[in-house]
Structure 1
Amino acid sequence: MRWRRVVDVGLVAWMLLAAILQVAFHFYVGEHWIDIDTLGYVLIVAFNLPLLVRRRAPAVTLLMVCVISTIYLALGYYHSVVTFQLALGIFSVAMYKRRRTSIWLSMIAFGVLAFAQHRLPLEPRLFGYAVVGLIAVIAWAYGDSTGRLADRGRQLSRLSEQLRREQQERAHRAVSQEQRRIARELHDVVAHHMSVISVQAGLGRYVLKTDPDTARAALEVIAGTAHEALSEMRRMLAVLRVAAEEPQSDTPYDSAPGLSRLPELLERVRSAGATVDIEVHGTEVPLPSGLGLCVYRVIQESLTNVLKHADPPVATVALRWQPHELAVTVTDRGAPLAEVAADAVGGDNGGVVRHGLIGMRERTRIYGGTLHAGERPGGGFQVALTLPLEERVT
């Protein structure tokens, strides 16, 4: 990355400047060190420059610093200017190389540091060796821990990306499966309409001359039924537009339920241990089979979530009939668990993606309605469905 290159260049420039200033202040240090000259400055630059590539080639970098530093020290130049460079080289191999390799290379660098201490005219030398040994150990330990932390971060990033892709794939599969199921159910609805049309057409043909009123009534039924069938067919094609070329299933299925089977559904939920009340406001009107199926499935899925997640499982189902709109709410009076809230936004809990609300939203979208699900301010959970009611031809 660009910022790493800037950091490395700045760090090497700082160490090079510090080394030059150090030797500049020790031009005349007596008999222990020789005066710095052009060769000394060249060697100082030479054992600093390899650190520019310490991330890409840490082992080569440390070996070059060790070799050039050894030559510099053997010629009798001032010793302290190699300490930071060797420590940074040890840190780099510990961070980017395997542990065994970094230990061996760090021991070589420690040998160079010890050689620099050996050039000092101080006694006892053991203290100096202990100091440079501590510097080497600290540099290696810090580099090793930093490298392991970076490895864990990269692993977590890869796992997070893999999990994100898997979640997207599972969500796509769930939506596709729901779309195919809706299409099969709509097929039932359309088949029902076609059967009605066939019967009424046969009746009208037989009574066309003998009973014109009956024939006219049959034609009106055919017109209304055909209108509903065409609406359902258009919706079915909308479902199939993104599921094209997917393999079809030959699994047998039951006829599509509607609001007429809502009492049976409520009884099953109550027998499972839930307390469910129902409220009906306004005048109920007959719904097209597909629309009734959508309302039934949303209520069914919402009550299933109440049984699974609400504590206690107490809910109210409310249907509000208006001239051009049907509003349905399923309100949970208990406190929903965290996974339900995660489900409401298409989230994930414990690695398991719940797609019940995805299916409900898909159904609602097909019929031009809206669906909202989430926690209530006073506690509990609510699913709110709104569907437009089209004028029916009779």
Structure 2
Amino acid sequence: MPLPRRMRDPGLALVVLVVVTVWTLVSARHAEEPVSRTVLGWALILVGCAALCLRRRLPVAVAVVTLLACALYYPLSAQDGPLLIAFALALYTAAAEGRFAAAVALAAVTLLAVGLGEVGHQPGRRQIDGTSLAMMAGWLISLVAVGRAQRNRVAYLYEVEQRALAAEREQEARARQSATEERLRIARELHDILGHSISLINVQSGAALHRLGKKPAPELALATAHEALRAVRDTSKEALRELRATLGVLRRADEAAPMAPVSGLASLPELVERAASTGLDICTQVEGTPVPLPPPLDLAAYRIVQESLTNVTRHAGARSALIALEWRADELRLRIEDDGGGAPEDAPPGSGICGMAERARAFGGELTARNVPGGFRVEARLPLTTPAGPAGPVAPADPADPTAPTAPTTRPAEGDSA
């Protein structure tokens, strides 16, 4: 079982102390010296080994302390224990902890001090000859080099770990962003489908109840109820069809995908007919030559018209509305205008208008919604060639996907469906 991190350095210091103590006791059997020197030698051993407890916190200071302990121990003590192990470990730690310059300086000072000390002795009384001095120099250089290599290795592993963590965080962020965008697309689809259909049903049933409240003749009352129920049936049937197509994106991969066609501008006459059943007089104008649109772009154009008509029937109090489609060589322009009361000037943008603007921006276009003299106008510009962003084309690759890409936007808008 590995030691806790805070106990590793004290444990290593204790191991070094035991090794130095045993070795010193063995060598002391053949050496005689005054008691005072023996006590001083053991004190220096204790100080040098104990300093290793702080070798990572104060690497340079510990290396200096162990070097001074060795410098005093070997000239004074006759026991000649292996206290140099403590200095070697401290020198390696200084290099491994990034104090490379200090480690080189201490190694040079050590080699210079040993060389100068041996120069003062007579040739026959030297303890270290030229060969041993060269070996000692290589030993010190090796300690510093190994410490530096360990430092580089630790830094490299740390960098690799940080890159892996950053890549993992980026992947998680992308996954969350994708999930959020998918939820927003589905929420917008459900808003457009259910908001439009429920608004029509509410207006149709409300008008029927209003006429029936006047207590007309039984034949007229029956015709009124029949007309209202038929309109509610047709509207709810269309809503269910589009709802099934939208919810199809949530089905599991091993289930059959819904085969219902995706809504588009080809369904505009049916949309106008359902909206007109509420008593709204709708005029449609088409300029230019219509061209086939990619399913996501076709759906976006249809949803913009649908949501605009929803807002007209629910909030505008208008008697008539105009839907204008202008086909140009490189773009489609939509304009939906009514003769209602318009939107309050201080009204915050509603989710319906924001959703329409997001659809237009997702395909590189734009949408504006504002009051005009005598009513309210929604204008949208949709490029016929979808621009490719950093992640590729914004249009989904699957033409059966009833959702469209999103992009955040903020537009001034009239109060729209929630």
- Displacement of 1:319 after TM fit? 4.8
Q: Give me the whole-angstrom Cα distance separating, in 2, the residues matched to 1:142 and 1:172.
A: 45
1:128 counterpart residue number: 132
| Deviation by residue 1:46-95 (Cα, 9 ceiling, x = unmatched) | 11111110011100000011112101122143445122112101110110
State whether structure 2 residue 152 is matched by structure 1 residue 152: no
Closer, same or farther in 2 for the Cα pair 1:175/1:228, shift >3 Å?
farther
1:57 counterpart residue number: 58
State whether structure 2 residue 189 is matched by structure 1 residue 188: no
Count matched residues.
255
| Residue identity in the other structure for 2:138 | L
1:198 counterpart residue number: 203
- Displacement of 1:143 after TM fit? 1.4
2:40 counterpart residue number: 39
Closer, same or farther in 2 for the Cα pair 1:76/1:201, shift >3 Å?
closer
| Deviation by residue 1:180-204 (Cα, 9 ceiling, x = unmatched) | 3323222221243122543465467
Computing the radius of gyration from Cα coordinates, the structure with the larger value is 2
State whether structure 2 residue 165 is matched by structure 1 residue 167: no
Q: How does 1:330-341 map to 2 (within 5 A)?
A: none
Q: Give the counterpart of 2:180 among 176, 180, 183.
A: 176
Contact 1:90 1:109 in 2 (8 A): no
- Displacement of 1:127 after TM fit? 1.9
Q: Give me the whole-angstrom Cα distance separating, in 2, the residues matched to 1:116 and 1:81.
A: 19
State whether structure 2 residue 225 is matched by structure 1 residue 216: yes
1:378 counterpart residue number: none
- Displacement of 1:19 after TM fit? 1.6
Contact 1:90 1:102 in 2 (8 A): yes
Closer, same or farther in 2 for the Cα pair 1:65/1:127, shift >3 Å?
same
Q: Give me the whole-angstrom Cα distance separating, in 2, the residues matched to 1:140 and 1:171.
A: 46
Q: Give me the whole-angstrom Cα distance separating, in 2, the residues matched to 1:101 and 1:317.
A: 69
Q: How does 1:186-335 map to 2 (within 5 A)?
A: 186-193=190-197, 194-199=199-204, 201-202=206-207, 209=217, 210-221=219-230, 287-295=240-248, 297=249, 318-319=256-257
Contact 1:69 1:112 in 2 (8 A): no
- Displacement of 1:44 after TM fit? 0.9
- Displacement of 1:213 after TM fit? 4.2
State TM-score, norm by structure 2: 0.50
Q: Give me the whole-angstrom Cα distance separating, in 2, the residues matched to 1:30 and 1:317.
A: 90
Q: How does 1:71-90 map to 2 (within 5 A)?
A: 71-90=72-91
2:4 counterpart residue number: 3
Closer, same or farther in 2 for the Cα pair 1:122/1:106, shift >3 Å?
closer
Q: Which runs of 5+ in 1 are unaligned?
A: 233-286, 303-315, 322-351, 364-394
Q: Give me the whole-angstrom Cα distance separating, in 2, the residues matched to 1:178 and 1:170.
A: 12
| Residue identity in the other structure for 1:107 | A
| Residue identity in the other structure for 1:217 | H
Bigger Cα displacement from structure 2, 72-81 vs 186-195: 72-81
State TM-score, norm by structure 1: 0.52
| Residue identity in the other structure for 1:106 | A
| Residue identity in the other structure for 1:198 | V
Q: Give me the whole-angstrom Cα distance separating, in 2, the residues matched to 1:222 and 1:184.
A: 25
Contact 2:245 2:258 in 1 (8 A): no
**In structure 2, the residue corresponding to 1:25 is in which secondary structure?**
helix
State whether structure 2 residue 7 is matched by structure 1 residue 16: no
Closer, same or farther in 2 for the Cα pair 1:30/1:80, shift >3 Å?
closer
Closer, same or farther in 2 for the Cα pair 1:77/1:186, shift >3 Å?
same
| Deviation by residue 1:153-204 (Cα, 9 ceiling, x = unmatched) | 2233333333333333333333333333323222221243122543465467
Q: Give me the whole-angstrom Cα distance separating, in 2, the residues matched to 1:320 and 1:180.
A: 21
Q: Give me the whole-angstrom Cα distance separating, in 1, the residues matched to 2:116 and 2:4.
A: 35
| Residue identity in the other structure for 1:44 | I
Q: Give me the whole-angstrom Cα distance separating, in 1, the residues matched to 2:5 and 2:114.
A: 27
Q: How does 1:63-142 map to 2 (within 5 A)?
A: 63-111=64-112, 125-142=129-146
- Displacement of 1:17 after TM fit? 1.8
Q: Which runs of 5+ in 2 are unaligned?
A: 260-390, 404-418
Q: Give me the whole-angstrom Cα distance separating, in 1, the residues matched to 2:60 and 2:172.
A: 42
Question: Once superposed, what is the RMSD of the aligned Cα atoms?
Answer: 4.3
Q: Give me the whole-angstrom Cα distance separating, in 1, the residues matched to 2:118 and 2:139.
A: 13
- Displacement of 1:117 after TM fit? 8.1
2:332 counterpart residue number: none
Contact 2:201 2:235 in 1 (8 A): no
Closer, same or farther in 2 for the Cα pair 1:121/1:24, shift >3 Å?
farther
| Deviation by residue 1:193-219 (Cα, 9 ceiling, x = unmatched) | 122543465467668644444433345
